[in-house]
Amino acid sequence: MDIHRYLQEKKEKVNSALERYLPKKEKFTLNLHKAIQHSLFAGGKRIRPILSIASFEAVGGKGERILPFACALEMIHTYSLIHDDLPAIDNDDYRRGKPTCHKVFGEATAILAGDGLLTEAFKLMANQPAKDHLSSDGGLILDLINEVAQAAGVLGMVGGQVVDIESEGKAVDLPTIQYIHTHKTGAMILASVRVGAKLGGAQEEILKALSRYGESLGLAFQIVDDILNVEGEADLMGKKTGSDLSKGKATYPSVLGVEESKKRAKELVRLAVDALQPLGPEADPLREIARFVVAREY
Binding segment toward a copy of itself, per CB under 8 A, in 77-85, 219-227, 243-251, 283-291:
77-85
Distance CA 168, CA 237 (A): 22
Binding segment toward a copy of itself, per CB under 8 A, in 40-48, 143-151, 184-192, 264-272:
143-151
Options 56, 69, 179, 221; binder of a copy of itself; rule CB under 8 A? 179
Q: Is residue 2 at the binding interface for a copy of itself, with CB under 8 A as the rule?
A: no
Binding segment toward a copy of itself, per CB under 8 A, in 163-171, 222-230, 237-245, 277-285:
163-171
Options 122, 270, 282, 284; binder of a copy of itself; rule CB under 8 A? 122
Strand partners, 27: none
Amino acid 151 reads A
Q: Is residue 141 at the binding interface for a copy of itself, with CB under 8 A as the rule?
A: yes
Q: Is residue 37 at the binding interface for a copy of itself, with CB under 8 A as the rule?
A: no
What is the smallest separation between the CB atom of 259 and a copy of itself, expressed in angstroms?
Answer: 28
Nearest CB to a copy of itself, comparing residues 8 and 119: 119
Burial group, residue 247, by CB count within 10 angstroms (0-12, 13-18, 19+): middle
Q: Is residue 104 at the binding interface for a copy of itself, with CB under 8 A as the rule?
A: no
What is the smallest separation between the CB atom of 220 and a copy of itself, expressed in angstroms?
Answer: 22
Rounded alpha-carbon distances, angstroms, from residue 166 to 115, 145, 169, 176: 22, 29, 9, 11
Binding segment toward a copy of itself, per CB under 8 A, in 161-169, 194-202, 243-251, 255-263:
161-169
Pinpoint the alpha helices (H) of the chain.
Answer: 3-21, 30-40, 47-58, 67-84, 101-105, 107-126, 130-134, 137-152, 157-167, 174-181, 187-199, 204-231, 234-237, 243-246, 252-256, 258-275, 284-295
Instruction: Name the DSSP letter for residue 178.
Output: H
Specify whether the CB–CB gap between 138 and 125 falls below 8 A.
no
What is the smallest separation between the CB atom of 288 and a copy of itself, expressed in angstroms?
Answer: 31
Options 78, 100, 161, 192; binder of a copy of itself; rule CB under 8 A? 161
Size of the site for a copy of itself (CB under 8 A): 61
Binding segment toward a copy of itself, per CB under 8 A, in 1-9, 54-62, 150-158, 211-219:
150-158
Q: Measure CA of the first residue to CA of the last residue in the chain; give whole Å.
A: 21
Distance CA 214, CA 284 (A): 14
CA angle 267, 74, 11 (to 5 degrees): 80
Between the CA atoms of 5, 11, 17 and 19, what dihedral angle is there, to the nearest 10 degrees?
-120
Residues engaged in binding a copy of itself (CB under 8 A): 23, 26, 28-29, 31-33, 36, 79-80, 83, 86, 88-89, 106-109, 111-112, 114-116, 118-120, 122-123, 126-128, 130, 132-143, 145-146, 149-150, 152-155, 158-159, 161-163, 165-166, 176, 179
